[in-house]
Amino acid sequence: MKVSKVPANVGSVISVRGSVVDIRFDGCLPPIHSVLRTGDDKQIVIEVQTQRDAHHVRGIALTPTQGLARGMAVEDTGGPLQVPVGKAILSRMFDVFGNTIDRQGALSDVEWRSVHRPPPPLARRSTKSEIFETGIKVIDVLMPLERGGKAGLFGGAGVGKTVLLTEMIHNMIGHHDGVSIFCGIGERCREGEELYRDMKAAGVLPNMVMVFGQMNEPPGSRFRVGHAALTMAEYFRDDEHRDVLLLVDNIFRFIQAGMEVSGLMGQMPSRLGYQPTMGTELAGLEERIANTDTGAITSIQAVYVPADDFTDPAAVHTFAHLSASIVLSRKRASEGLFPAIDPLQSSSRMATPGIVGERHYALAQEVRQTLAQYAELKDIIAMLGLEQLSPVDRQVVARARRLERFLTQPFFTTEQFTNLKGKLVSLNDALDGCERILRDEFKDTPESAFYMIGKIDEAKKTAAPEEAAKKVDAKPAAEAKPDAIPEAAVVAHES
């Protein structure tokens, strides 16, 4: 990290409690957010959090404090935490201090900037709204993303947030002209290594930067890694006037790291143990992700929801900053409907006639309405069976079940696990498929033909072998109503 050339301001350690270090300065007190260095090789980095009195500051160590002792000299670097920016950072992997961690040699021809920067003023912000296609049917049809906006993938543990985020990287990075920055907050080292290998294999590393704060690092380091990635993103937006795709996994770990720092500093926690400054800290990060007159930062963020409780303060505060919220459902994942997105809980501010167009808006509303009616009828079907419904309701159920299966999609990133070739579906093809299902064009096609396909025409190809097998095996008595009993049984089982 670059150290500013200022007269040395040296203090001494007076207490060490885990990551919390108290330091005495007899001369000038370093400002808040200043970086201090100590240790035999100046390898221990401390960020000033509070000035306790005229001679004492309290800081959080951004590195392990092993070997730190009372009386050790502490040097004030004269500035805040800084990271490198410039064209030379492309295709590289960094830690929170701007050190390269990909064993590809040292950086050259870079500028170092503070990670603490204000958001762009309102006068510089762009007011244009434009759709950002992902190639994933359920997202593009029901909850379209905004170019230069913020989208959140909400879900508990193991419902597919990281898989969906990785698939979006795969789909968008190929036809995304700008720079992509991946920020791993509290990541497992396995995930970082796999992502690097996958991006290298896909040939997209030349336009990508990765910044990681791993799980085993102190909370201060994990808390600042988001700011470090944003500083790099702002350089490409403001200096090079390029569009930036910022991917964050996982924003909850940022809030969690802030909670740990707050607890270490002795602040009184608010509801459910969160820090009292959570809203301010999250806003300070999110408001820097903005669309300006020179370029745009489009952000997609995974958000872990503790215990699947969407009223948790971390989830509630994050919802407020987003233009699209994609909610992943454990129930849908258990039914094998992947991506396990709940279409009724997910939403997007872009889904208005003025932005997406009248046809898209009307179709999306009709799809939601059909799925909502089916959700209401599930209890009746479970108790009485499908035969007790009116003919109109039976049609609604048939459409909804076909829509549910059509909105599943095989992913490129899971090909090795599913043995299904990944599919990229354009918005027009996705809308066309939904429209044809709602118009009952496929009422005689079995539901299973719609599962894990791309375009709607693939359903006919899938259905042909199934129908041929049925004709060979079916008995005359069963031919009168082949789908009724299994369908009712499946609905009852799912409910």
For residue 264, give the amino acid letter.
L
Cα 289 to chain center, whole Å? 14
Phi then psi dihedrals of residue 275, to 5 deg: -70, 150
How far is the C-alpha of 434 from the C-alpha of 437, rounded, in Å? Answer: 5
Catalytic site residue 190?
no
How far is the C-alpha of 32 from the C-alpha of 49, rounded, in Å? Answer: 6
User: Which listed residue (161, 222, 237, 368) is catalytic?
Assistant: 161
DSSP for 388-443, written as a single string: GS-HHHHHHHHHHHHHHHHT----GGGHHHH--------HHHHHHHHHHHHTTTTT
Cis peptide bond prior to 339, omega within 30° of 0:
yes
Tokens of 206: 């030349």
Catalytic site residue 161?
yes
Cα Rg, the chain, nearest whole Å: 27
Question: Can you give the three-state secondary structure of 213-263, one letter per residue?
Answer: EECCCCHHHHHHHHHHHHHHHHHHHHCCCCCEEEEEECHHHHHHHHHHHHH
Tokens of 70: 């009372």
For the chain, the maximum distance between any two Cα atoms, rounded to a whole number of angstroms, is 97
Nearest CA to 58 out of 1, 17, 107 is that of 17
User: Which listed residue (133, 146, 187, 234) is catalytic?
Assistant: 187
User: Which listed residue (70, 188, 421, 470) is catalytic?
Assistant: 188
Whether 427 and 171 have beta carbons less than 8 Å apart is answered as: no
Residue the block writes with tokens 């009168």: 480
Catalytic site residue 404?
no
179 φψ region: left (φ > 0), alpha (ψ -120 to 50), beta (else):
beta
Q: Catalogue the active-site residues.
A: 161, 187-188
